[in-house]
Amino acid sequence: MSDTFISTKPIPVRERLIMALDVPSIPEAQALVEELGDAVVFYKVGMELFMSGDYFAFIEWLKARNKKVFVDLKFFDIPATVGRAIKALSSKGVDLATIHGNDSIMEAAAQAKGDLKVLAVTALTSLDRGDLDDLGFQCDVKQLVLSRAKRALQIGCDGIVSSGLEVSMIREELGQKLLVITPGIRPVDNREDDDQKRAVSVEQAIQNGADYLVVGRPIRDAADRKAMAEKIQSQIAALFV
């Protein structure tokens, strides 16, 4: 693989790893953050923790420890509601947030975001061709992702969430203009019970042009979590030498 598409954005290398805090409770999330220490700088807090209570107090707890925060709630509602939600979130010190939906929803979020960077979801990495057929999307997955990426850029979103399988295509078409956050990173082959159907390795995602990698289960389920996080940090750093 050519390194043509490797990110040229001035992002500190150790911030390119985003740890997904996909755990049931705030105390478990706090314990995981403390266990990982300086091995992880950036954290994704999603719907599971939102439903556990004290979500915003936990964000403040993370920010007090100089961590960066990615709010992954995939806001999807009427445009005015999404705009107000993004405006409220922009006052919380959050760094990244996801939205879903059509052009008018993206426009409302882009207009209200302030310093918050808004990311449009393209196609969830848990979906494959059969799932998209069931949802009524008859186009090719890659064309769906590229279409949404182009619209997000035109409308004023800061970036997108995309499988690493489509990132090189996005970079070829749009260059380095958008932030690309890639979930579904797997340092080893997928297990049979893995719900990420379009996963890629660390090296493949970075070489394809991802700016940030979201990693959850491989770190969370490791025997030595901090060592696994540092291993992934080393894999990322080696590609930016």
Catalytic positions are 74
Please give the DSSP secondary-structure letter assigned to residue 46.
E
Instruction: Please state, in angstroms and as integers, the Cα–Cα distance from residue 129 to each residue in 19, 217, 240, following that order.
Output: 27, 24, 33
Task: Give the number of other CB atoms < 10 A from CB of residue 196.
Answer: 19
User: CA 182 to CA 179: how far, in whole Å?
Assistant: 10
Nearest to residue 18, comparing CAs of 214, 222, 204, 230?
214
Contact 43, 18 (CB under 8 A): yes
Q: What is residue 241's three-state secondary structure?
A: coil
